Amino acid sequence: MAITIKDVAQKAGVSVATVSRVVNQKDIHKVGQKTQKRIEEILKELGYYPNTMARGLKTRRTYNVGVVFFWFDKPSLSDPYLSSVLDGILAFYGEKNYNILMNTFSLKTQNPGIYTNFINSGLVDGLLVIAPPVESQFFQDLKQGALPYVLISHQVNDKDVCFVDCLNTQGIIDTVEHLISLGHKKIAYISGRNEYSKNSLDRLHAYKYIMKKKGLPYREEMVFDGDFTPESGGKAVDAFLKLKNKPTAIIACDDSMAVGAIRELRRLGLRVPEDMAVCGFDDIPSDLNLTTVHQPTHQMGYEAAKMLWNQIEKKPLEYAHRFFPTRLVVRETCGFYLKKANAKDKKH
Amino acid sequence: MAITIKDVAQKAGVSVATVSRVVNQKDIHKVGQKTQKRIEEILKELGYYPNTMARGLKTRRTYNVGVVFFWFDKPSLSDPYLSSVLDGILAFYGEKNYNILMNTFSLKTQNPGIYTNFINSGLVDGLLVIAPPVESQFFQDLKQGALPYVLISHQVNDKDVCFVDCLNTQGIIDTVEHLISLGHKKIAYISGRNEYSKNSLDRLHAYKYIMKKKGLPYREEMVFDGDFTPESGGKAVDAFLKLKNKPTAIIACDDSMAVGAIRELRRLGLRVPEDMAVCGFDDIPSDLNLTTVHQPTHQMGYEAAKMLWNQIEKKPLEYAHRFFPTRLVVRETCGFYLKKANAKDKKH
DNA sequence: TATCGTTATCAAAGCGCTTATGATTTCTTG
DNA sequence: CAAGAAATCATAAGCGCTTTGATAACGATA
């Protein structure tokens, strides 16, 4: 059996109350100097560690935060986006000596009991949620419950609900403008799961908006509905290449689909960017030198964690919503450096 | 305040004992049919969820398992190896409705109090450990404590300590033999952090062993000590290219260094595999078409989780150690398909 | 010496839950 | 119908901890 506070008290010849005070350094002025010293020594000697369960039961604080990932299929941490966000979360709570409790749920095999239990069981002090904005028992329970939480990459029309997100719209606008500056006019778009992902929808709207604004009419057949998988990126390419009026550039709603598109193009013997420019979104690590939009995922995780922590510790909240800027990262698949090199050649 | 078992008992007009029985379906024969029905209804109506802390305090079971990552620097889940192992762990405990408690520690900033507390606080029922086999307070506490644990990718000379690992030796042997079959004789090797990583050391030994066995003498300058970063892979290339007797093929102890090597080679205007064959180890996702050794990381995580679970639930252990086979994945950077194509050309 | 404030310490309640034990009722059976 | 067996339920202890209110010791003051 593990050492309890009682054992320490007995050995020190004091009451458990006194031991508790020196362990937690709370009301410590109520403990005499010598007693304190003595207890501290015995603490080390016996190797005492407070029982989290007992303490949690009494204080209603666990120093655990839950991180829940929802996705269509069981989420995989091999997804660079998720793992980067998680890294940010870990970085923050590492500093604060909190524990991270992870859970992944699939929207397909909804078993509300499980995650609702997670909310209500008193296991965690708060929740970080990465999930598409679908209707579900989970979000209802979250809203009704007293547990603090912060949504990640998930905007919500509610002043009281905390979330962090990035400026999707700006990212797409930058990309389109960049492609236009390289001379492209026929720019196709591969969309994500619009029915589930607000991010995806925002990006699509941004694409339509900026195309129109730039005088490049939006054409139905220039948009392909993908599902965030490389395979769907490949299918998009097949569809685009069948068109009479083929695009000269493709923007994908995320990097996975961009990667899939490039693979398919190469498989068909086409060169990227010479025959087709391709841009992505997310800036996941890859060796394809993808031109893409960077999101500060690590920072988003970190800041979300911080917002949650502020709630848990009842610090004043500076803001309930936080938007992070995106940044267009120009690499090779858009053709920028190709064009530059050509220009140089002509000079000579 | 949340609904407690007392509230339910009161509403149902029974004692808390009876409610507890139907909640846990334990000693359920001691509860009458109608009473059971009634309580179940009230349970739903009130939305009762047992308090994990109270239950844990009483039963000494938390249905949490801890996953601790130790590394030189703070571990990052963006590391495909770690995230894949973690995926396997999540997959297993998802089925069992356990929670995963994550913690990452740096060997640099050792603060034993933190993780020792993690072992002793009663927060978790067991521990999955991914850490280099260095001497530390952590492992001592682990051995002395009563908490079940399983090591991942970390062999130990102790019948009683559970671990999973892969057959590193075979992986390297396969790679070297493959390169030899492609006509290579001068095969260089980029090593990992041998002082910390048993895996790295095993692989190095395997390299020396098979080179000698195949009649290709081991030469000191053909081994470069890297540190698992792409940068060190690049440095290795620089060193190898300075040699009078340059290698024609490079094996890296892990994929990160292999990737770094390839980048450096290309930066220097050399072609892979035409001018230099490169092979890696781990099979992380990449678009470089790396020839590498696949480890069943997901499965390793899954099986480690299972072994721990068996211990926690006091099921009979089938085995304390588990080794997983590796598999050489031949792609393009070794030059196999190049050679094949050449052979075809000659036929015509 | 009686009184009072200060300081150091303790006793005990109670957080929500499980479970051993005992009590009460109902059912069997000779 | 009496008595033992079985079914059903309640009582209460206690897991390890925090925290309030009480107590004791000790000078200092009047």
From first to last of its 348 residues, what are the pLDDT tens digits of chain B? 789 999 999 999 999 999 999 999 998 998 988 899 999 999 999 999 999 999 999 999 999 999 999 887 888 898 899 999 999 999 999 989 999 999 888 887 767 777 888 899 999 999 999 988 777 778 888 988 889 999 999 888 888 899 999 999 999 999 999 999 999 999 999 999 998 888 899 999 999 999 999 999 889 999 999 999 999 999 999 999 999 999 999 999 999 999 999 999 999 999 999 999 999 999 998 889 999 999 999 999 999 999 999 999 999 888 899 999 999 999 999 999 887 777 777 655
**pLDDT at residue A345 tops 80:** no
What φ, ψ does residue B156 adopt, rounded to 5°?
A: -150, 140
Residues of chain B with CATH 1.10.260.40: 5-50
CATH number of A64-166+298-323: 3.40.50.2300
Nearest residue to nucleotide C7, by CA–C1' distance, is A30
Q: Does A110 touch chain B (CB under 8 A)?
A: no
**Is the CB of B1 within 7 Å of strand C?**
yes
Q: How far apart are CA A103 and CA A130, in angstroms?
A: 11
**Is the CB of A52 within 7 Å of strand D?**
no
Q: What is the pLDDT of residue B317?
A: 85
Q: Label each residue of chain A as H, E or C.
A: CCCCHHHHHHHHCCCHHHHHHHHHCCCHHHCCHHHHHHHHHHHHHHCCCCCHHHHHHHHCCCCEEEEEEEECCCCCCCCHHHHHHHHHHHHHHHHHCCEEEEEEEECCCCCHHHHHHHHHCCCCCEEEEECCCCCCHHHHHHHHCCCCEEEECCCCCCCCCEEEEECHHHHHHHHHHHHHHCCCCCEEEEECCCCCCHHHHHHHHHHHHHHHHCCCCCCHHHEEECCCCHHHHHHHHHHHHHCCCCCCEEEECCHHHHHHHHHHHHHCCCCCCCCCEEECCECCCCCCCCEEEECCHHHHHHHHHHHHHHHHCCCCCCCCEEEECCEEECCCCCCHHHHHHHHHHHHC
Q: What is the pLDDT of residue A109?
A: 74
- Among B121, B137, B288, the residue to mutate for chain A (most A Cβ within 10 A): B121
**pLDDT at residue A175 tops 90:** yes
Side chain identity at residue A331, one-letter code: R
Q: What is the pLDDT of residue A110?
A: 66
Nearest Cα residue in chain A from B88: A76
Q: Find the nucleotide nearest B30 (Cα to C1′).
A: D8
Give the architecture (CATH level 2) of B5-50: Orthogonal Bundle (1.10)
Q: How far apart are CA B5 and CA B24, in angstroms?
A: 12
Strand D contact nucleotides, protein CB < 7 Å = 7-12, 14-21
Which residues in B lie closer than 8 A to residue A123 (C-beta atoms)?
52-53, 64, 99
Q: Find the nucleotide nearest B51 (Cα to C1′).
A: C16
Half-sphere CA count of B135, side-chain side, radius 13 A: 0
In whole angstroms, D21 C1' to A18 CA is 15
| Complete edge-to-edge strand list for the sheet that includes strand B249-252 | B223-225, B187-191, B249-252, B277-279
In whole angstroms, C5 C1' to B61 CA is 49
Element (H, E) at B323: strand B321-324
Q: Which range (A89-103, A131-145, B224-238) has the least confidence? A: A131-145
CATH 3.40.50.2300 fits B168-295+329-347, yes or no: yes
CB-CB contact of A22 with A37 (8 Å): no
Q: Does B245 touch chain A (CB under 8 A)?
A: no
Residues of chain A with CATH 3.40.50.2300: 64-166+298-323, 168-295+329-347
Which residues in B lie closer than 8 A to residue A62 (C-beta atoms)?
53
- The percent of residues above 70 in pLDDT, for chain A, comes to 98
Please provide the average confidence, as pLDDT, over all residues in chain A.
92
Q: How far apart are CA B299 and CA B324, in angstroms?
A: 9
Q: Does A116 touch chain B (CB under 8 A)?
A: yes
Residues of chain B with CATH 3.40.50.2300: 64-166+298-324, 168-295+329-347
Q: Find the nucleotide nearest B20 (Cα to C1′).
A: C18
Q: How far apart are CA B149 and CA B128, in angstroms?
A: 6
CA distances from B103 to A25, A148, A255, B63 (A): 25, 22, 29, 17
Angle (CA) A302 A304 A310, round 5°: 105
Q: What is the pLDDT of residue A347?
A: 59
Q: What is the pLDDT of residue B346?
A: 64
Q: What is the pLDDT of residue A140?
A: 85
pTM above 0.85, yes or no: yes
- Chain A residues 13 to 42 whose Cβ lies within 7 Å of strand D are 16-17, 20-21, 23-24, 26-27
In whole angstroms, C5 C1' to A33 CA is 21
Q: What is the DSSP string of B224-283?
A: EE--SSHHHHHHHHHHHHHSSS--SEEEESSHHHHHHHHHHHHHTT--TTTT-EEE-SB-
Half-sphere CA count of A189, side-chain side, radius 13 A: 23
Q: What is the pLDDT of residue B102?
A: 92
**Is the CB of A33 within 7 Å of strand C?**
yes
Q: What is the pLDDT of residue A115?
A: 82
Q: Does B52 touch chain A (CB under 8 A)?
A: yes
Task: For residue A70, list its beta bridge partners.
Answer: A105
Element (H, E) at B322: strand B321-324
Q: What is the pLDDT of residue A105?
A: 86
**pLDDT at residue A135 tops 90:** no
Which residue among B86, B101, B287 sits closest to A101, beta carbon to beta carbon? B101
Q: What is the pLDDT of residue A196?
A: 83
Q: What is the pLDDT of residue B82?
A: 93
Instruction: Identify the three-state secondary structure at position B66.
Output: strand
Nearest residue to nucleotide D16, by CA–C1' distance, is A54
What φ, ψ does residue A84 adopt, rounded to 5°?
A: -70, -45
Q: Does the beta-carbon distance from B49 to A117 stay under 8 Å?
A: yes
Q: What is the pLDDT of residue A42?
A: 94
Q: How far apart are CA B323 and CA B74, in angstroms?
A: 27
Nearest Cα residue in chain A from B78: A83
Nearest to B308 by CA among B144, B142, B196: B142
Give the architecture (CATH level 2) of B64-166+298-324: 3-Layer(aba) Sandwich (3.40)
CB-CB contact of B61 with B98 (8 Å): no
Q: Determine the average pLDDT of the residues in A251-258.
A: 96
Nearest residue to nucleotide D6, by CA–C1' distance, is B30
In whole angstroms, C14 C1' to B123 CA is 22
CB-CB contact of B292 with B280 (8 Å): yes
Q: Does A288 touch chain B (CB under 8 A)?
A: yes
